[in-house]
Amino acid sequence: MSPGPLPFAGALDIPAWLCENCGSWQRWFERPPACPLCIDARHVLPQDGWSFLTLEEARAKYPCVLDEPEPGILRLRNDPAPGIGPMGYVVGDVAFECCAVPSAEALERIGRLRVAAASHPHSYGALHLLQDTFDCEVALHPGDLQWSSALRVTWPWDDRLELGDGLTLHHSGGHFAGHAVLHDAPRGILFCGDALKFELDPEDERRALTLSAHKAFVRGIPLSPAELRGYRDLFARLDFTQTWTPFEQAANAGRREALQLLDGMLATRSHAAPVPLEELG
């Protein structure tokens, strides 16, 4: 789906490599020397050096699981997963986030896609493979263009982008400059990317016990007050009772809990510590 000319048609005709430390892909003409996303301050370096896999090697090592946690929403994940193990979601013909290694069977089950989007680079996963397979639009915020070189962004947008069927992308910034969330208005679900983070009940994967917000979860870096206010102003405008990150699908936490977490930090100071949901009720 090309909205314009491709002056250098071979730009993406280079092999893609999976970083086993973070689960992101980059195109390089041989096994890459390093992973830019791991070097970034929001991630960590591999403790024992780099490891990069081809798609064939990755598929042999990381089986893909596709299921439907809510009617009409497909979830793609790898078990075991490379790196941080983001999950991908497909709502109708829109994909938001992607797992690192989708199987050929999973892609066949998806069937067709009109749009592929993601909150931020940590959960692009194999977004490039969705574009290669389905020739779909790639709707990413330009704030993160520097991280999208394995893809071709076809539908850049600014504050918000309506995708149809009650699905709307909103720019949130914060964790990444171009960080975005997807609001599913009919279902009351906010796909919030890494804007929020949950710890789940080991007995019930749909029930969150704690909630936190952070600039860099693995490094324990808090958000700045302006970044917290950006999340707060956006979430206050959206109606949601469930919150799905790339790693959790919390059915018991929505706008009310998110605003209480953010208001608490704005009234005192920002931190990256998990707050029990019962303290936010």
> Helix crossing, 255-267 with 225-237: angle to 10°?
150
Candidate list 16, 25, 26, 37; residue touching Zn ion; CB under 5 A: 37
Q: What angle do CA 123, 96, 19 make, to 5 degrees?
A: 25
Phi/psi for 97 (5° steps) reads 70, 170
Told to check if 194 binds Zn ion by CB under 5 A, we report: yes
Pairing of strands 94-96, 115-117: parallel
Q: How far apart are CA 144 and CA 157, in angstroms?
A: 12
Contact 190/256 with Cβ under 8 angstroms? no
Contact 139/127 with Cβ under 8 angstroms? no
Between 53 and 139, name the residue whose CB sits nearer to Zn ion: 53
Q: How far apart are CA 251 and CA 70, in angstroms?
A: 10
Between 219 and 237, name the residue whose CB sits nearer to Zn ion: 219
Told to check if 213 binds Zn ion by CB under 5 A, we report: no
Chain positions 94 to 123 lying near Zn ion, rule: CB under 5 A, are 122
Element containing residue 204 per DSSP (H, E): strand 204-212
Q: E strands of 73-124, at which residues?
A: 73-78, 88-91, 94-96, 115-117
Amino acid at site 82: P
Candidate list 16, 18, 35, 196; residue touching Zn ion; CB under 5 A: 35
Between 93 and 144, name the residue whose CB sits nearer to Zn ion: 144
Told to check if 234 binds Zn ion by CB under 5 A, we report: no
Report, in Å, the least distance between residue 186 CB and Zn ion: 27
Report, in Å, the least distance between residue 27 CB and Zn ion: 14
Told to check if 21 binds Zn ion by CB under 5 A, we report: yes
Told to check if 251 binds Zn ion by CB under 5 A, we report: no
Candidate list 16, 17, 18, 19; residue touching Zn ion; CB under 5 A: 19
Amino acid at site 242: Q
Chain positions 121 to 140 lying near Zn ion, rule: CB under 5 A, are 122
Q: Give the range of 38-46, 100-108, 150-158, 258-266 binding Zn ion by CB under 5 A.
A: 38-46
Between 1 and 149, name the residue whose CB sits nearer to Zn ion: 149
Report, in Å, the least distance between residue 38 CB and Zn ion: 3
**Site residues (vs Zn ion, CB under 5 A):** 19, 21-22, 35, 37-38, 122, 194
